[in-house]
Amino acid sequence: MSGLRFKKWPIIMKIMAISAISIAFISGLNLFYFVPLIESRVVDARQNEIRNLVSMAHDIFDEYEADVRKSQVTRGDAQTRAAARIKQLRFGENNYFWINDSNYRMVMHPTRPDLDGLDQSGFKDPTGKFIFKEFVDASRRDGSGFIEYLWPKPGTTLPVKKIAFVKLYEPWGWVIGGGVYVDDIEKDLRQLRIILMTGTAIFAVVTLSVAWIIGINITRPLHEVMQGLEEVAEGQTGVTLAKRIEITATDEIGLLTSKFNELMESLHRLSVFKKVIEEDASLEQVYMRLHWVFTETIGIADCVIYEISASGGGMRQAYPVTIHDEELFCNPEILSDCELCKAKRTGHIIDSTTFPSVCTMFQNPDGSRIHYCFPIIVGGGTTGVILFRAPRPASLEQARQTRAKIGKAEHYINESLSVIETKRLMGNLRESSLRDPLTGLHNRRYLQEHMDNLVASMTRRKKSIGVIMCDIDYFKQVNDVHGHHAGDLVLKETATRIGKSIRETDVVIRFGGEEFLVILLDINGGESLEVAEKIRRNIEGTRFKVSDGTLEKTISLGISEFPDDSGTLWECIKFADVALYRAKDQGRNQSVRFIWEMWSESQV
């Protein structure tokens, strides 16, 4: 409802709203990114300042040591003079330098002379930190370093947080330090925040003012156009949407108005279409609706909608659901490697009318067909491709008509992108509920929800469905002897082996504990038994790796086919289960095709 209300807002309100959102975005960017970044830079700058100041004070020692080396003064005199000179140095309002030696004795402290000459190895701040030990340790370890601790400001007794930099002067074994109080830094930061907030406020006022002026300049000529539309709406009988609105403007708004009547009906249809697909329950229904519009409303007879797999490696034919490889418009290799599809790889429309062999994957041996491929780009990536195929135009008029149809289809595709993105996200969430978490296969719920579509598609195409019920032989022994972890490994590997034994278009379902159901789509009668045997041989030849070695397992399979065995797929599943139990009774590790002699009244 909020989205609908926004659509009813006047343009100037929308402009102001967008401006307000921009201001909010920039304000948030300042608050959560630039302010912390600048604050960090300020703290770093203050720390660098302390480091440089301490290093400069440290250099004073070298001056006096040079006098000692020249025998101009004794080292004791040099140290006394150096300490006295440094004692007078200040930086900032509350900041100073102090000196202690490597044995934790205070040499000079300008604000605490009572500490001079005393051993400070046991001196702790209120948090229990032995700060002079840390000064000496950092200096000995790295030559210099930063230390955080609590210390009162000059003239006060309340300890506050302070950041100090200390540096060792090795010839004398002295450690010189200087620091800055954190609340002094905070004072600078508060001033900085005030400046940024003031700047943001000024920016907001200027932006909203400019937005208001732009909105007025846009809406003033639009009101003139609206007046012309009211004349059409209030006209006499016979006034149609094809009637031109007379305006004097020659700018973009005037051009827009001149095309308004031509576009009104098509925009209305597009709007209705989008609302309909927004209410569809699944992405598959959206694809079905799009396909119907393309083929029935627009009149493009040949259309295929491909969907890129979530992993991005392959693609599947989303609608129509499935066809034989020989009936595909494109080389079937694109199903396993979607990068072979030029529309997917490039992310733009592929039009064979401009260059007949623009895509080598399009199957057109006699050159009688053209194709247009539209990538479905949502969320910054290509999630599907819509392919249209048409006879090569014999005249310019036929080419114009074909291009007009493709242009209409493109409008519907663009209107569908946001819905496709939403449905795809919802579908991914829903797909997770249709998967077995251990093997990654579909579960029974998936079968219940998709069975009708599968049956309807195969019935319409007059194709058969193969049903194979698989059960791992003596699986309970794996859990009993090797543990449930080994059983899980066997189940996952079995699922993998079954998947490699069938086509990508077929479906594998974890039906029960150690039971798997294979649904073979688009088969000819009798092919199910061949596939079942392939599965059985692959499992028989597999060495299952478990924690305490390897296992050899076999599998029993029961087969039935729809609609040869029954007119309902659920009954075919039951028949396959009956055949499976016959395979178990006959010694396991075999594939048994259902025949009616296996069915008894007690099984009904």
pLDDT of residue 38: 79
278 pLDDT band, cuts 50/70/90, is: confident
CATH 3.30.70.270 intervals, the chain: 444-603
pLDDT band at 105 (very low <50, low <70, confident <90, very high): very high
Per the CB < 8 A criterion, the answer to whether 498 and 584 are in contact is no
Kindly report, residue by residue over 550-592, the tens digit of the pLDDT: 889 999 999 999 988 888 889 999 999 999 999 999 999 999 9
Above 60 in pLDDT, residue 604? no
Residue 242: its pLDDT value, please?
A: 44
Mean pLDDT of 286-299: 88
At residue 248 the predicted structure's pLDDT band, cuts being 50, 70 and 90, is very low
CATH (residue range 444-603): 3.30.70.270
Q: What average pLDDT does the structure give for the chain?
A: 83
Contact criterion met (CB below 8 Å) for 33 and 73: no
Within 425-539, strands assigned E span 464-472, 507-510, 515-523
- 1 pLDDT more than 50: no
Say whether pLDDT at 528 is over 50: yes
> pLDDT at position 240, please?
45
245 CB-near residues (< 8 Å, 6+ apart): 225, 228, 229, 231, 232, 257, 258, 260, 261
Single pTM value for the model: 0.39
Looking at the structure, give the CATH architecture of the domain made up of residues 280-430.
Answer: 2-Layer Sandwich (3.30)
Tell me which CATH code domain 11-236 carries. 3.30.450.20
Domain with CATH 3.30.450.20 in the chain: 11-236
**pLDDT value at residue 265:** 67
pLDDT at 244: 47
Q: Which residue spans of the chain are classified as CATH 3.30.450.40?
A: 280-430
Q: Identify which of 518, 603, 524, 597 has the alpha carbon closest to the alpha carbon of residue 559.
A: 518
